[in-house]
């Protein structure tokens, strides 16, 4: 019983790490893509695409694993995706790319809402 509880805790911690890392990878891919577009660094786009594709495969596997979890795990997944879209949206407006957002339209909406107020 105790080993099962430990296994469950490790599983939840792993899911949490995967979804948070996925959010950061989407942000990093957005910046790398902008480096390619604005500074003409060809490998930046290639690295962004490859990292993003690996992240997508990992996230898909994590979603299947989370699907076996409670509604709380699925809500956390959605929260991470929304946070990624918020960050990619604000960056996307400044950098000119929304390609790596989970939902590009939502990222554009966030960009209009939060990106239009100068700091």
Higher pLDDT, residue 61 or 119: 61
DSSP state of 100: T
The pLDDT, as a whole number, for residue 109 is 92
Q: What is the residue-averaged pLDDT of the chain?
A: 81
Q: Indicate the length of the chain as a whole number.
A: 119
The answer to pTM > 0.75 is no
Task: Give the rounded percent of residues in the chain with a pLDDT score beyond 90.
Answer: 4
According to the 3-state scheme, what is the secondary structure of 48-75? HHHHHHHHHHHHHHHHHHHHCCCHHHHH
Neighbours of 113 (CB within 10 A): 12
Residue that has been written with the tokens 């939502």 in this structure: 106
Per domain, the residue ranges of the chain are: 2-113
């Amino acid at each position: 019983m105790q080993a099962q509880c430990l296994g469950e805790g490790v599983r939840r911690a792993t899911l949490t790490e995967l979804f948070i890392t996925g959010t950061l990878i989407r942000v990093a891919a957005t910046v790398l893509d902008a480096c390619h577009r604005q500074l003409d660094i060809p490998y930046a786009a290639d690295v962004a695409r490859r990292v993003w594709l690996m992240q997508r495969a990992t996230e898909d596997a994590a979603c299947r694993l989370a699907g076996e979890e409670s509604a709380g795990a699925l809500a956390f997944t959605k929260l991470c995706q929304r946070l990624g879209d918020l960050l990619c949206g604000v960056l996307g407006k400044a950098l000119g790319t929304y390609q790596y957002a989970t939902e590009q339209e939502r990222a554009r909406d966030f960009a209009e809402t939060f990106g239009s107020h100068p700091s």
